[in-house]
Amino acid sequence: MKRSASERKTFSTSREEYELLEEIGQGASATVYRAIYRPTNEVVAVKCLDLERCNSNLENIQKEAQIMSLMNHPNLVTSYCSFVVDRCLWVIMPFMAEGSCLHLMKYGYPDGLKESTIGYILKETLKALDYLHRHGHIHRDVKAGNILIDSDGMVKLADFGVSACMFDNGDRRRARNTFIGTPCWMAPEVMQQDSGYDFKADIWSFGITALELAHGHAPFSKFPPMKVLLMTLQNAPPGLDYDRDKKFSKSFKEMIGMCLVKDQKKRPTAEKLLKHSFFKKTKSPGPSVKKVLLDLPPLGDRVKIIQLKDAAQLASKELPSAEQEAMSQSEYKRSVSGWNFDVEDLKLQASLIPDDDDDITGAKDEDQTKRLAGEDVDASSSSSGFGRTTSFVGVDCREGTSGSETSTAECLNQISDFGDKEYVDGNGCSEAALQGLEKITQVCLKSQNNRNCRAPNGLLMPDREVTRSLSEKDVISKRCENNHQEITDKSRHTMRKVPSFNSQLMLPNQASANNLSAPSRFSGGSGDAVEDSSKVDLVQKKGRFSVTSENVDFVNDPSMKRSSSFGAFLLDSKQGLPVQSSKAAQNGSAPASLASSLQCLLKQTSALQDLIASSLNNLERGKAADGQTCSALQKGKPTPESQSSENVGDTSDGGRRQLLLSKISEFQSRMNDLTVVLTTENLMQMKKLRRPNDHGSPLFILSILSSRSEPSRRLACSASFSGMCVFNLLSSTRRNRILTSAVNAQFVNCLYEEQGSNLTLMDWFVDI
Ligand SMILES: Nc1ncnc2c1ncn2[C@@H]1O[C@H](COP(=O)(O)OP(=O)(O)OP(=O)(O)O)[C@@H](O)[C@H]1O
């Protein structure tokens, strides 16, 4: 094997010969320092591996370190020597002055590097991989953090052998690791650990590294490890999007696509990949790399700056999310150093993750095929034709590039949690639904970037929630109001005049694409919902969402007229509403005031319930007292006075009891209505209802039916595609009638037109 002059030099294995300088990197089990080799004054890198943090014995580690020192390739960072110092193994290596590609991106290229630079880096890395594979080695840790650049712009793959062999000595059963770091770069077959893996696993990691260099982060890098695992196994492989990643060439996309094939046998060897057209055009050493390296501060300073940046970022956030981010960041930096972990442990953890996993960027398998075929694949659109489930009930969790948005997975989990549970039970808002709302609110509050994740703007407690402590309720409602305020502020400028009918249901002109997309995971929905939606031809039922194709006469449909109680209630209870609410309804700030009005109503209702309950108690006590009086009187002679009072009491108490009981049920039903309305209102505020172009079916009804037992109390949100056109042709009186009847029937009809007119929910309501 040929060695360069400096590599042929021998290095002492005495600790005293090395002067450790600043830290230049940190891995899962090692800290790397710049150091001076005293005898020759040469700058070297010393990797101090903490043996206590490694799941392997010293003998094995040293053996591997020796093998590593025997490897010789211009694109591999070999070790000069290694020796044990206290509880650490020191590995002496050439110092790569420009540090890792990860450091480079973190310092100056957070959104990724230019294709020409990437091409050069990848080609050099691939050469190293080809060399390793031909010598029977699997690197097992290919990632930007392990691709180092020296002062001449030479690219070298580091960390081969040591970290991999340390954790996996060929006997995985003996030394299984607890799962640490993120498995973003890990091939599916490595994750599965049943059928075994070979050097093709490095090709997968190489493909992921290509994406990492292109975007500044690996796909799924901000997701929790378990989520990454599930996404990698369940979703189609990630890749460059033909639409979104327009700046990258077709050959680059194709090359990545070849690496990221789930079937390892179908992945090319490193040797074959090197012949791909993408690598033909790259030059060594890339002038673009040199350009990138210009004006960079010394590596030690850069690392410090990056650490400070990370720390400042953490400090600026709330603690919980900061912790999460810290975890995510360190996981991102580290990845999984060894592909040897306890699968059972993982499975257990994975089983705790809700089974939603509507992928964010990882498109379904067909999408990947399309990608490779050069077809447009919208990462945010679903194979179901509805778009992905990225939003529901007031939460808009959009994902741009994979892993780029904070807490999106969390949002999805919460949303699917929410979506999978019964929404409203017979008594009003179910516990699960409320928890869902609360969770979403909290998650979204945690999220630093409200642009991508919005909370619902109000939370109505059901009667059973009234038992919560007041402070807790206040906190929740405050949070909700804050969120609501933000949303309202944003949408206020687009709001127009308010319709004259029940204006509490005024909705903002909040437009966001794909908002009502692919609720494919939402299960549940009641039998009622099915029954109700069967009135029109049911095309598709996805949880509570029912897609129908038949024209619905909003005016004549009896279901629309079934109940007038809600509309009446809103009108009746106007005296009960704070004055500001009706004013707000007129001046266009209804959504915010609606939430507070409803909160206020809820409080009033609870107070009334308390009052009724105490009256009932009094009655009971009175009755008991009457009973005592009776028995006392039975012993003696009943006076005419007592007799008559007892009779009156019987009649009036019975009447009053009936009255009070009916009041209670009335209040309960009003509360239920309000709960449903508020929730729907939250939903609608967030949504611009949209669906993909549906050839053929002129009318498209999307019904969100609450799972209420009584059909008359159902609230449906129906979206009509061409119904809007028909609606516009009607006279204003007729339109008003339709709307009023719809509201009175507890139906909020959201007709929208997708093509051309850009009408949104709000437009529809205010256009009358
Ligand atoms: N020879 C070197 N010259 C310059 N910097 C280095 C050298 N070796 C490592 N580094 C830096 O130190 C960081 C950590 O090194 P290490 O090899 O432990 O990385 P790691 O692969 O991220 O860790 P692990 O895989 O064990 O989690 C690297 O990402 C790199 O930035």
Query: Rounded distance, CA 732 to CA 603, Å?
Result: 37
Q: Which of 47, 68, 307 to mutate to test the pocket of ligand 1 (most atoms within 8 A of CB)?
A: 47
The H-assigned helical ranges of 339-407 are 343-351, 365-373
Which protein residue's CA is at the shortest distance from atom 29 of ligand 1? Answer: 145
Which protein residue's CA is at the shortest distance from atom 13 of ligand 1? Answer: 25
Q: Which of 64, 159, 302, 332 to mutate to test the pocket of ligand 1 (most atoms within 8 A of CB)?
A: 159
Which protein residue's CA is at the shortest distance from atom 18 of ligand 1? Answer: 27
Q: How far is the CA of 101 from the centre of ligand 1 (A)?
A: 11
Give me the pLDDT at residue 685, please: 54
What HEC string does 627-640 produce? HHHHHHHHHCCCCH
Which protein residue's CA is at the shortest distance from atom 20 of ligand 1? Answer: 27
**Main-chain dihedrals φ then ψ at residue 719, nearest 5 degrees:** -115, 130
3-state secondary structure of 298: coil
Stated as kind and residue range, the H or E segment containing 697 is: none
Query: Rounded distance, CA 442 to CA 435, Å?
Result: 10
Query: Rounded distance, CA 511 to CA 519, Å?
Result: 18
Q: No. of H helices and E strands in the chain?
A: 28, 17
What amino acid is encoded at 7 in this protein? E
What amino acid is encoded at 105 in this protein? M
**Main-chain dihedrals φ then ψ at residue 750, nearest 5 degrees:** -110, 95
Cβ atoms within 10 Å of 19's Cβ, excluding its own: 13
Atom number, ligand 1, closest to the C-alpha of residue 145: 29
Cβ atoms within 10 Å of 13's Cβ, excluding its own: 15
DSSP characters over 24-58: EEE-SSEEEEEEEETTTTEEEEEEEEEGGGSSS-H
**Main-chain dihedrals φ then ψ at residue 720, nearest 5 degrees:** -115, 140
Q: Residue 245 carries which DSSP code?
A: T
- Residue 631: strand pairing partners: none
Atom number, ligand 1, closest to the C-alpha of residue 337: 25
Query: Directed axis angle between helix 565-572 and helix 640-686, to 10°?
Result: 100
List the structure tokens of 280: 């033909």
Atom number, ligand 1, closest to the C-alpha of residue 163: 26
Q: How far is the CA of 232 from the centre of ligand 1 (A)?
A: 25
Query: Rounded distance, CA 670 to CA 505, Å?
Result: 15
What amino acid is encoded at 190 in this protein? V
> Per-residue pLDDT tens for 240-267?
987 788 899 999 999 999 999 999 999 9
Name which of 504, 541, 543 is nearest 523 in CA terms.
543
Residues with pLDDT less than 70, the chain: 1-8, 54-57, 64, 160-182, 193, 283-288, 314-608, 612, 615, 619-653, 672-673, 675-768
Query: Rounded distance, CA 688 to CA 695, Å?
Result: 20
Q: How far is the CA of 47 from the centre of ligand 1 (A)?
A: 8
Which protein residue's CA is at the shortest distance from atom 17 of ligand 1? Answer: 159
Atom number, ligand 1, closest to the C-alpha of residue 25: 12
List the structure tokens of 149: 């650049």
| Alpha-carbon torsion, ordered 249, 252, 257, 260, to 10 deg | -140
Give me the pLDDT at residue 299, please: 85
Which residues lie below 8 Å from residue 640, measured CB to CB, with a gap of 6+? Answer: none
Q: Are 302 and 103 in contact (CB under 8 A)?
A: yes
Which residues lie below 8 Å from residue 451, measured CB to CB, with a gap of 6+? Answer: none
Which protein residue's CA is at the shortest distance from atom 25 of ligand 1? Answer: 337
Q: Are 516 and 702 in contact (CB under 8 A)?
A: yes
Q: How far is the CA of 187 from the centre of ligand 1 (A)?
A: 21
pTM higher than 0.90: no
Name which of 688, 478, 488 is nearest 591 in CA terms.
488
Give Cα separations from 307 to 28, 31, 302, 330, 380 (angstroms).
Answer: 16, 14, 9, 11, 33
Give me the pLDDT at residue 254, please: 94
Name which of 371, 401, 399, 398 is nearest 383 in CA terms.
371
Atom number, ligand 1, closest to the C-alpha of residue 32: 12
Q: How far is the CA of 9 from the centre of ligand 1 (A)?
A: 22
Q: Which of 51, 148, 296, 301 to mutate to test the pocket of ligand 1 (most atoms within 8 A of CB)?
A: 148
Q: How far is the CA of 333 from the centre of ligand 1 (A)?
A: 10
> Residue 181 CA to chain centroid, in angstroms?
19
Q: How far is the CA of 35 from the centre of ligand 1 (A)?
A: 14
Which protein residue's CA is at the shortest distance from atom 12 of ligand 1? Answer: 25
Q: Which of 100, 103, 160, 304 to mutate to test the pocket of ligand 1 (most atoms within 8 A of CB)?
A: 100
- Residue 48: strand pairing partners: 31, 90
Q: Residue 92 carries which DSSP code?
A: E
Atom number, ligand 1, closest to the C-alpha of residue 29: 26
List the structure tokens of 568: 């009446």
Query: Rounded distance, CA 297 to CA 107, Å?
Result: 10
Query: Directed axis angle between helix 470-492 and helix 640-686, to 10°?
Result: 40
**Is there a catalytic annotation at residue 152?**
no
Q: How far is the CA of 27 from the centre of ligand 1 (A)?
A: 6
Instruction: Please tell me whether 347 is known to bind a ligand.
Output: no
Which protein residue's CA is at the shortest distance from atom 4 of ligand 1? Answer: 96
Query: Rounded distance, CA 82 to CA 89, Å?
Result: 7
Atom number, ligand 1, closest to the C-alpha of residue 159: 17
As for ligand 1, residues whose beta carbon falls within 6 Å of it are: 24-30, 32, 45, 47, 77, 93-96, 99-100, 102-103, 141, 145-146, 148, 158-159, 163, 334, 337
Give Cα separations from 101 to 117, 132, 333 (angstroms).
Answer: 11, 20, 11
Give me the pLDDT at residue 445, please: 36
Q: Are 510 and 486 in contact (CB under 8 A)?
A: no
Stated as kind and residue range, the H or E segment containing 716 is: strand 716-720
Q: How far is the CA of 275 from the centre of ligand 1 (A)?
A: 29
List the structure tokens of 477: 């409602």
Name which of 383, 324, 357 is nearest 229 in CA terms.
357
Q: Residue 463 carries which DSSP code?
A: G
Pick the catalytic residue from 50, 86, 130, 141: 141
Q: Are 748 and 761 in contact (CB under 8 A)?
A: no
Q: Would residue 653 be called left, alpha or beta, if left means φ above 0 and alpha means ψ between -120 and 50 degrees? A: alpha
